[in-house]
Structure 1
Amino acid sequence: MYKTIFFFLLLLPLISFSQRINNQISYRDMNSDAYMRLSYDNDYFTGTDKYYTQGINLEVVSNSLRKNPLNFLLLRRDDKYTKYGIAVDHFGFTPTSIRSSEILQGDRPFAGNLSLKSFNVVYDAERNNIYTSSITLGVIGSRAGGEWMQTTIHEAIGDQLPIGWQFQIANDVIINYEVAVEKRLYTYYDSFLFNVSAGANAGTLSNKVHGGFNFRLGKLKPEIINEKTKGLQFYIFCESLVNAIGYDATMQGGVFNRSSPYTIAAKDIKRLTFQQNFGVVLNFRKIYLEYFQSLLTPEFRGEKMHRWGGIKIGVKL
C-alpha cells in the first residue's frame, strides 16, 4: 500500500501543499517516541504584519496515543516503527493593513482557524521512506479566536490594536485529511542528507497537493529511525516546495457557510506558488531548539511575496 502511495505522489509534477507548521517532516524529527513541542510562527520575526501573521502549535507524541480512536483513519503498518501524536493548531491571517474600518478589496481577508490534529509517522528503514498521515478537526471564523489572539499580543507589546476583524471569514467547520511521504536519496557520512517529499491534503479547510526536496548539513544522525538518540545534533536545513492550490478556506471562505463578508474569488487564486524554508536546529539530550524563516510567493492576484519566522522548543519525555 505504501509503495503504491509513494509512486502515485511522485508522479505528481513536483507540486506541493505549503504547510504553515509542518512538524512531521524529517528535519524536525526529535528522535524520541515521547515528547512535547511548542511552535510559534510570527511575521514579526521578518518585520511585517500581514497575510500569514501568526501560528501556534502544541504537539504531543506518546505511545499511549496508539489507542486514540481516530487512528483507524490513519495509514498503518503494524510491522513498521510508528509514532502517534496529537497537536493543537491556531493560525491567524490578516490583510496588509489592520488599521482600516472598511473591507480592503483585493487584499487578503481576515481569518482565524483553531483545530485539533491526530497524526502518525511510519518509518520504513528498509526502503528509506517515512510516511505521515493526519486527520484535522476544528473551526474557522470568529469562534477560532483569531481577533482575540492578535489583540492580546498587540496589547502585550504596546502596539496598535487591530481593526477589521469584523470582516473575517465566517464560522465554518474544519475537516481535513492529509497523507505524505518522504524518501531519503543520499547521505554523506554524518554530515549531509538529501530527501524528496510529496503528499496530498483534502477537506473543508484546503485541497492541495505537494512535493519538493530538502537537505540538512551539519552534525547529524543519518539513520531513518533514531528514537533513542542521545548525542548532539546541530545542523542547518533548507527545503524547497512548489505548491498547487485547489481550494483554501482562509481566502475563499468555508465550504458550508458562504456568508463571509469578503472572500477572494476563485479566478484570482494563484494555483502554483513557491515556498522556501530554512533554519537551524539544536537537538541534544532531552532538548530540541529551532529557529527558521519561510518565504512564500503570492497566493492570489495582487498579493506580494511574504516572509515569516518562527521558533520551536521541544522536550523529550
Structure 2
Amino acid sequence: MFNKLFLTLLCLFGSISLFAQTRGHEIAIQTDNDGYLGQGSDRYYTNGIFIYYRKALKADGDLQNKVLGFEIGQKMYNAQSGYVPNASYIDRPFAAYSYIGSTLNLLYKNESTLKLSAQLGIVGPAAGGEPIQKFIHNTFGFYALNGWQYQIKNNVELNLGAEYNKLLARASWIDVSLASYANLGNGFTGAGVGPLIRLGNFNQLFNSVSTQSTVSAADQTGLLHTHEIFFYYKPQINGVLYDATIQGPLFNKNHDPNSLEVTLDKKPFIFSNQVGVAFTTSRFTFDIAAIFHTKDVEEMLRSHQWASITGAYRFK
C-alpha cells in the first residue's frame, strides 16, 4: 500500500511540474510613466498603459514555440510640461495614440525569433489623452493642465511591424543577441537595431521574458533555468521616417487657418538606452526597466526618459 501511495504521489507531483511548464495562456499589464524615475518631470512621453493577452500555439518543424497575442493600449505625449502658457512653449506636440492590435511570435529552435504585429489606432482627441491626463492630475492633486487645445488632430491609422532577434554569443551567465524592428504605417514608419545584453539566469530566446514567450503549448524541456532572473542592457539606434504624434496626419494635413493644432518636424535618428531587470516564477513574470531617449525633435529642451513596469500571470 505504501508503494502504491508513493507512486500516486510521484505521478501527482510529476503532473504538477508538467502543468507548471505548459501553461499556455498569459495576461499582462504594462505601465509607463516618467514620474516613476522620481525626477519630478512630466514631459514628452509622459504616460502609457497596455493590456496583453497571449496564447501559445502548437509549434512544429523548425519552430520551438509559437505565441499569438492581442493587446490594447494608449501612449500619451505632451510638451516640456502639461501646462504651457501658449503655443510658443510647445517643444514637442501634445498627442495621444490609442490602439488595438495583434501579434504572432515565431520562435525558432536556433534561437532566432520573428514577431509580426498589426495595430489599428487613432491619434488625436478621440484617443482620449486629455481627459485621462486630467483625471490623473485631479485624482492625485497635481497641477492644472493647459495645452491640449493644440494637440494633433484626429487621424485613423494602420501600423504594421516586425521584430527580429538572433542569439549571437552565450557564456554561462551572459549572452548577447541582435535586436531589431521595422514599422510601416501611416502613423509610424521607421526601424531600429542594436544588441541585447543579458546577465544572470536567463533562458533561451524561444521561452524567455526577453521575447515575451514564457507561455508554451508543450513542455519546454532543456531550458537553461527553471526560473529567470537577470539584468539586461539594450542600446539601440532608431531611424524615424514618420511619426504622427509629432508630424500629424500623413494624408490629411491641416490647412485650416483657424486650427490650433501644432506639429513639428521629427529628427531622423534617435538613440535609446534601456536598462532593466526581469524575473519569473512558475506563474508570474515581472520586467522593470528605465528607458533613456535622445530628442525626438530639435526644439525639445531636453532628452526624455521614463520607467516601464510589466507584470504578467500565466495559466493553463
TM score, norm. by length of structure 1: 0.80
Name which one, 1 or 2, has greater alpha-carbon Rg. Answer: 2
The 1:223–1:166 alpha-carbon spacing in structure 2 relative to 1, beyond 3 Å, is closer
Deviation at 1:194? 0.9
Which residue in 2 is equivalent to 1:233? 228
The 1:32–1:248 alpha-carbon spacing in structure 2 relative to 1, beyond 3 Å, is farther
Query: Which of 179, 182, 191 is equivalent to 1:209?
Result: 191
Deviation at 1:138? 1.1
Stretch moving more, 154-163 or 144-153? 154-163
Which residue in 2 is equivalent to 1:306? 304
Which residue in 1 is equivalent to 2:52? 59
Deviation at 1:270? 1.4
Distance in structure 1 (CA, Å) of the matches to 2:89 and 2:182: 31
Say if 2:35 is the partner of 1:35.
no
Match of 1:104, SS state, is helix
Gaps of 5+ in 2: 1-20, 208-213
Query: Which of 154, 163, 166 is equivalent to 2:137?
Result: 154
The 1:186–1:120 alpha-carbon spacing in structure 2 relative to 1, beyond 3 Å, is same
- What CA deviation, in whole Å up to 9, does each residue of 1:123-153 have, x standing for no partner? 1113x21001101101110111001111111
Match of 1:235, SS state, is strand
Distance in structure 2 (CA, Å) of the matches to 1:310 and 1:253: 26
Deviation at 1:32? 5.6
Query: Which of 221, 230, 242 is equivalent to 2:203?
Result: 221
Query: Which of 156, 159, 170 is equivalent to 1:176?
Result: 159
- What CA deviation, in whole Å up to 9, does each residue of 1:206-255 have, x standing for no partner? 11011111111112223634635682211111101001111100000012
* Identical amino acids, percent of aligned pairs: 24
Deviation at 1:78? 7.4
Which residue in 2 is equivalent to 1:123? 107
The answer as to whether partners of 1:171 and 1:257 remain within 8 angstroms in 2 is: no
Which residue in 2 is equivalent to 1:16? none
The answer as to whether partners of 1:103 and 1:262 remain within 8 angstroms in 2 is: no
Distance in structure 1 (CA, Å) of the matches to 2:81 and 2:202: 42
Which residue in 2 is equivalent to 1:270? 267
The answer as to whether partners of 1:95 and 1:104 remain within 8 angstroms in 2 is: no
Deviation at 1:263? 3.7
Query: Which of 63, 74, 92 is equivalent to 2:76?
Result: 92
Say if 2:281 is the partner of 1:288.
no
Distance in structure 1 (CA, Å) of the matches to 2:56 and 2:204: 23
Deviation at 1:199? 2.4
The answer as to whether partners of 2:79 and 2:90 remain within 8 angstroms in 1 is: no
Match of 1:166, SS state, is helix
The answer as to whether partners of 2:62 and 2:109 remain within 8 angstroms in 1 is: no
Aligned partner letter, 1:195: S
- What CA deviation, in whole Å up to 9, does each residue of 1:148-198 have, x standing for no partner? 111111112111132111111000001000112100011112x22210122
Deviation at 1:203? 0.5
Query: Which of 247, 262, 270 is equivalent to 1:252?
Result: 247
Gaps of 5+ in 1: 1-29, 67-75
RMSD: 2.3
The answer as to whether partners of 2:149 and 2:261 remain within 8 angstroms in 1 is: no
Aligned partner letter, 1:255: L
Match of 2:137, SS state, is helix
The answer as to whether partners of 1:170 and 1:257 remain within 8 angstroms in 2 is: no
Which residue in 1 is equivalent to 2:260? 261
The 1:286–1:97 alpha-carbon spacing in structure 2 relative to 1, beyond 3 Å, is same
Query: Which of 121, 124, 130 is equivalent to 1:138?
Result: 121
Which residue in 1 is equivalent to 2:3? none
Deviation at 1:262? 3.5
